[in-house]
Amino acid sequence: MFVVTPAYAQSNPTEGTHSETGAHGAEPHGGGMFPPFDSSTFASQILWLAITFGLFYLLMSKVIVPRIGGILEHRRDRIAQDLDEANRLKEEGDEAIAAYEQELADARKKASAIAEAAREKAKTAAEAERVKTEAELAEKMAEAEKSIAAIKQKALADVDSIAEETATEVVKQLLGGSVTKAEVADAIRAASGK
Amino acid sequence: MSNDPIHQFQISKLVPIEIGGLDLSFTNSSLFMVATVAAAAGFLFLTTSNRGMIPSRLQSVSEISYEFVASMLRDGAGSQGMRFFPMVFSLFMFVLVANLLGMFPYFFTVTSHLIVTFALAMLVIGTVVVYGFWKHGLHFLNLFVPSGVPGALMPLVVLIEVISFLSRPISLSVRLFANMLAGHITLKVFAGFVVSLGSMGALGIGGAILPLAMTVALTALEFLVAFLQAYVFAVLTCMYLNDALHPGH
């Protein structure tokens, strides 16, 4: 049915009985078969496939698959663990930043409170100083006013006597006569409208 | 003889063994099955022996293939399907490494023999059937009775479902076998053209450039096919296992 190969004819003598039946062409066994359809090799192929593949499967399921699976799982765990660690560290960092910010805000508040207190204190002191100074000034002013009033009063009191003297003198010089002090005083009083 | 494209699929006995009239010889096919298992298991075992937290390049390859198959199975059969992970991973690695080993010149391609791919397919379907009945009892037969089908059509639909289920092992095995077989024959035929044209003198050597370029391109394609068929085999395995886990449509 397929190409009959001289190669197979050569290898046939080792097969003994098979080659003889094959040579007669009636049997599908042996002979010049297309190799993949030569059923005389099937038993051997199935047996050796079973042995080799069975061993391979055993090796795979008992050693290789658990090993590679273990490597991959170990790596996956390790990566997950590292990610967790990174997350934890990040959270810690965030907390530290928050604490720092909080402390900074507190310090700022405290500083401003201290400044406020100092300002308040200085203001109070200045105010007190001012009040004191003002009081002193007012006192001095009052004293000054008092002395001015006294001087004024004194001066005003002297005005009449000066006027009398002046008038007496003026009259004496102009009229050559003399007037009494009482007369002059009356005149002045009349002149000044008192 | 060396130009015969079928010769590469020849099975030759290395250690003749015969038990009870059955020929169970250790053949070149058996040798490459052993080589496939040794290469796949050896690679996965040695590259992961450091269990590096930060994987080396080769360890990455093992891990990527693990996760590739794991996500394939999880997408195809849900998280419950992960109980079949060692089987699907073994199938994928076995088929992939067998296909790739077959790309070496003079190497035998284990998966180019129908009986091998059929045995692997029957392993999958057998697992589906056994697990399906064990887990769901006769409810597993709901697989063949899609919901929401009008009563009159039901027998026809059930018949189609049964046929489609029965054809699964055939399509699963023939797809892989035929791809590997056809790819290797094509490669061999084009490479043969290079040799026969090259022996025809100056003009022949000029003309041989075309099949040579074709051979190079086909080699690249075959590497793709080698991976793709392993992938397809594993994906379909996942889908069939999904039926065993969730038989209701």
CA–CA separation, B26 and B19 (whole Å): 12
A-chain CB neighbours of B121 within 8 Å are none
Q: How many domains does chain A have?
A: 2
pLDDT, position A175: 78
How much is the pLDDT for B1? Answer: 44
pLDDT at A184 over 80: no
Count Cβ atoms within 10 A of the Cβ of residue A28 and give its class: 0-12 exposed, 13-18 middle, 19 or more buried: middle
Kindly state the average pLDDT of the residues A134-145. Answer: 94
What value does the mean pLDDT take over residues A37-54?
Answer: 91
Closest CB to A7: pick one of B4, B67, B112. B4
Both ends of chain B: CA-CA distance in Å? 53
Asked if residue A35 is part of any domain, the answer here is yes
Q: Are B113 and A11 within 8 A, CB to CB?
A: no
Q: Give the per-residue pLDDT at A32.
A: 65
User: Is a pLDDT exceeding 50 seen at residue A29?
Assistant: no
Q: Which of B11, B33, B30 minimizes the C-alpha distance to B94?
A: B33
User: Is there a contact between B90 and B44 (Cβ–Cβ < 8 Å)?
Assistant: no
CB contact under 8 A, A38 and B11: yes
Q: What is the per-residue pLDDT across B76-85, written as a single tens digit (0 to 9) for each?
A: 998 899 999 9
d(CA B99, CA B116) in angstroms, rounded, equals 12
The closest alpha carbon to B62, from B45, B50, B75, belongs to: B45
What chain A residue is nearest to B53 in terms of C-alpha separation? Answer: A75
Q: Determine the average pLDDT of the residues in A158-182.
A: 79
One-character DSSP codes across B121-176: HHHHHHHHHHHHHHHHGGGGGGGGS-TT--TTTHHHHHHHHHHHHHHHHHHHHHHH
Nearest residue, CB atoms, B12 vs list A11, A60, A78:
A11
Domain range for A22 is 6-61
- Residue A72 placed within a domain: no
Residue A53 belongs to a domain: yes
Confidence tier at A25 by pLDDT (50, 70, 90): very low
**pLDDT for the residue A23:** 37
Q: Find the mean pLDDT for residues B98-123.
A: 94
Answer yes or no: is A170 within a domain. Answer: yes
Q: What is the pLDDT of residues B173-229, one digit of tens each?
A: 999 999 999 999 999 999 998 988 888 888 888 888 899 999 999 999 999 999 999
% chain B with pLDDT above 90: 63
Q: CA B56 to CA B22: how far, in whole Å? A: 47
Interchain proximity A35–B11, CB inside 8 Å: yes
Q: Name which of A87, A85, A56, A104 is nearest B98 in CA terms.
A: A56
- Please give the DSSP secondary-structure letter assigned to residue A193: T
Interface of B with A in 114-133 (CB under 8 A): 114-116, 119-120, 123
Averaged over A130-151, what is the pLDDT?
94
A70-79, A131-140, A161-170, B180-189: least confidently modelled range: A161-170
pLDDT of residue A61: 94
Which residue of B lies nearest to A35 if distances are taken between CA atoms? Answer: B10
Residue A116 within a domain? no
Beta bridge partners of B69: none
pLDDT at A194 (0 to 100): 57
Of the ranges A28-32, A130-134, B6-10, the best mean pLDDT one = A130-134
- Judging contacts by C-beta atoms under 8 Å, the chain B residues touching residue A76 are none
Query: Does the beta-carbon distance from B120 to A59 stay under 8 Å?
Result: no
B7 touching A (Cβ < 8 Å): yes
B30 part of contact set with chain A, CB < 8 Å:
yes
Burial B130-148 (b: 16+ CB within 10 A, else e): ebbeeebeeebeebbeeee
Instruction: Determine the pLDDT at residue A6.
Output: 44
Asked whether the predicted pLDDT for residue B149 surpasses 50, the reply is yes
Q: What whole-number percentage of chain B has pLDDT above 70? A: 98
Query: Who wins on pLDDT, B148 or A56?
Result: A56
Closest alpha carbon to B87 in B101, B102, B73, B103: B73
Q: A45 vs B16: CB contact, 8 Å cut-off?
A: no
Q: Is pLDDT above 50 for B10?
A: yes
Q: Please give the mean pLDDT across all residues of chain B.
A: 91
Range from A53-57, B8-12, B67-71, B164-168 carrying the lowest mean pLDDT: B8-12
Cβ of residue B88 closer than 8 Å to a chain A Cβ: no
* Average pLDDT score, chain A: 82
Q: Which residues of A touch B62 (CB under 8 A)?
A: 68
Contact B241, B128 (CB under 8 A): yes
Residue B121 has pLDDT above 90, yes or no: yes
B146 band by pLDDT with thresholds 50, 70 and 90: confident
CB B130 within 8 A of CB A52: no
Cβ contact A37–B114 (<8 Å): yes
Q: Is the pLDDT of residue A22 over 50?
A: no
Helix (H, G, I), strand (E, B) or coil at B18: strand
Chain A residues whose CB is inside 8 A of the B120 CB are 49, 53
Q: What is the pLDDT of residue A168?
A: 81
Using an 8 Å CB-CB cutoff, list chain B residues near A48.
Answer: 26-27, 29-30, 33-34
Over residues A71-93, the pLDDT tens digits come to 999 999 999 999 999 999 999 99
Residues of B within 8 A of A56 (CB-CB) are: 37, 40-41, 90, 93-94
Q: Which two tokens stand for residue B100?
A: 């790739």
CB contact at 8 A, A119 and A127 = no
Cα–Cα distance for residue pair B177/B110, rounded to 1 Å: 9
Using CB atoms, which residue from A34, A41, A57 is nearest to B86?
A: A57
Residue A5 DSSP symbol: P
Closest CA to B70 of A43, A60, A178, A128: A60
Q: What's the pLDDT band for B249 if we cut at 50, 70, 90?
A: low
Q: Which of residues 131-170 of B touch A (CB under 8 A)?
A: none
Ramachandran angles phi, psi of B4, nearest 5°: -75, 115
Q: Are B22 and A8 an interchain contact pair (Cβ–Cβ within 8 Å)?
A: no
Chain A interface, best mutation among B2, B15, B25, B63, by max A CB count within 10 A: B25
Q: Where are the alpha helices (DSSP H) in B48-149?
A: 57-77, 85-101, 114-136
| Interior/surface letters A127-148, b for 16+ CB within 10 angstroms, e for the rest | eeeeeeeeeeeeeeeeeeeeee
User: CB neighbours of A49 closer than 8 A, spacing ≥ 6?
Assistant: B33, B110, B116, B119, B120
Categorize the per-residue pLDDT at A186 as very low, low, confident or very high, splitting at 50, 70 and 90.
Answer: confident
Q: What is the pLDDT of residue A14?
A: 40
| pLDDT at residue B153 greater than cutoff 80 | yes
